[in-house]
Amino acid sequence: MLKLNPIRSEKVWGYEDWIASTHPDGLQTDFASLVNDYPLLVKIIQANDTLSVQVHPDDSDAKRLEGENERGKTECWYVLEAEEGASLIYGLKGNLSKEEVRAAIKENSLENLLNRVTVKKGDFIFIPSGTVHAIGGGLRLLEVQQSCNITYRLYDWGRPREVHIEKGVEVIKNEKRTEIAPLAEEFECAYFRLQKEPLKGGYSFLVSPSSKTAELLFISEGNGTIRSTAKDGIKTEMPFTKEEIFAVTSGEKITLEGHGEVIRIQAK
Pairing verdict, β 75-82 and 139-146: antiparallel
Nearest alpha carbon to residue 254 among 203, 219, 210: 203
From 64, 153, 177, 227, the catalytic residue: 153
**C-beta neighbour count of 267 within 10 angstroms:** 19
Max distance between CA atoms of the chain, in angstroms, equals 64
Do 265 and 211 contact (CB within 8 A), yes or no? Answer: no
Q: What angle do CA 92, 94, 98 make, to 5 degrees?
A: 65
Please tell me the distance from the alpha carbon of residue 223 to that of residue 220, in angstroms, as a whole number: 9
| N-terminal to C-terminal alpha carbon distance within the chain | 20
Please tell me the distance from the alpha carbon of residue 115 to that of residue 119, in angstroms, as a whole number: 13
Residue 153 among the catalytic residues: yes
Burial group, residue 176, by CB count within 10 angstroms (0-12, 13-18, 19+): exposed
**Which residues lie across from 267 on neighbouring strands?**
192
Nearest alpha carbon to residue 37 among 147, 154, 166: 147
Please tell me the distance from the alpha carbon of residue 260 to that of residue 220, in angstroms, as a whole number: 7
Residues annotated catalytic, as ranges:
153
